[in-house]
Structure 1
Amino acid sequence: MDVLALVAGLACLLLAAAIVVLLGERRRLHRRLAQSQEVVAQLQADLGAALRPPPASTPTERAVRRVIRTASRVREQGITGLVQDTLEGLQVWAGQERADILNMAAPDGTVTLFFSDIEDSTTLNHRLGDTAWMRVLTAHSRVLRGRIEKYRGRVVKTAGDGFMVAFRDPEAACRAATGIQRDLRRDLTLRRYGGVRVRIGVHTGQVVARDGDYFGRDVAMAARVADRACGGEVLLSDAVREALGEDTVLRLEELEPVELKGLPGAHVLWRVLPRVG
Structure 2
Amino acid sequence: MAILLGVVCVLLAGVVVAFARDRARLQRVLADTRARMTQLEADLDAALRPPPPSNSAERAMRRVIRTASKVRSHGITGLIQSTVEDLQTWASDDERADILNMAASDGTVTLFFSDIEDSTPLNDRLGDSTWIKVLAAHDRVLRTRIEQYRGQVVKTAGDGFMVAFRDAEAACRAALGIQRDLPRDLTLRRHGPVQVRIGIHTGQVVARDGDYFGRNVAMAARVADLALGGEILASDAVRDALDDDAAVELVEREAVELKGLTGEHVVWEIRPPAA
Aligned position for 1:213 = 211
Quickly say closer, same or farther: Cα 1:258–1:221, change in 2 above 3 A: same
SS in 2 for 1:266: strand
Alignment-derived partner of residue 234 in structure 2? 236
Matches within 5 A, 1:1-277: 75-76=56-57, 79-80=60-61, 85-87=89-91, 90=92, 92-93=93-94, 98-106=96-104, 109-277=107-275
One-letter amino acid of the structure 2 residue matched with residue 86 of structure 1: W
Please identify, of 249-258 and 266-275, the stretch whose mean Cα deviation from structure 2 is larger.
Answer: 266-275
The number of residues matched between the two structures is 199
Unaligned runs of 5+ in 2: 1-53, 65-87
> Do 1:82 and 1:137's aligned partners in 2 also have CA atoms closer than 8 Å?
no
Gaps of 5+ in 1: 1-72
- Secondary structure of 2:61's aligned partner: coil
Distance 1:81 1:114 in 2: 25
Aligned AA for 2:243?
G
1:82 & 1:193 partners in 2: Cα distance?
A: 22
Quickly say closer, same or farther: Cα 1:99–1:194, change in 2 above 3 A.
Answer: closer
The normalised TM-score by structure 1 is: 0.67
Are the counterparts in 2 of residues 81 and 138 from structure 1 also a CA contact under 8 Å?
no
Q: Residues 82 and 138 of structure 1 are in contact (CA less than 8 Å); yes or no, is this contact kept in structure 2?
A: no
Cα RMSD for the two superposed structures: 2.1
Deviation at 1:85, TM superposition (A): 4.1
**Letter of the 2:219 counterpart:** M
- Give the stretch that moved more between structures: 240-249 or 141-150: 240-249
TM-score, reference length from structure 2: 0.67
Question: Aligned-pair distance for 1:132?
Answer: 0.9
Identity among equivalent pairs (%): 70
Asked if the contact 1:235–1:271 (Cα under 8 Å) also holds between the matched residues in 2, the reply is yes
1:260 touches 1:266 (CA, 8 Å); kept in 2? Answer: yes
Q: Distance in 1 between the 2:55 and 2:89 partners?
A: 11
Is the 1:184–1:195 Cα contact (8 Å) retained in structure 2? Answer: no
Shift of 1:211: 1.4
Name the aligned partner's letter for residue 196 of structure 1.
Answer: V
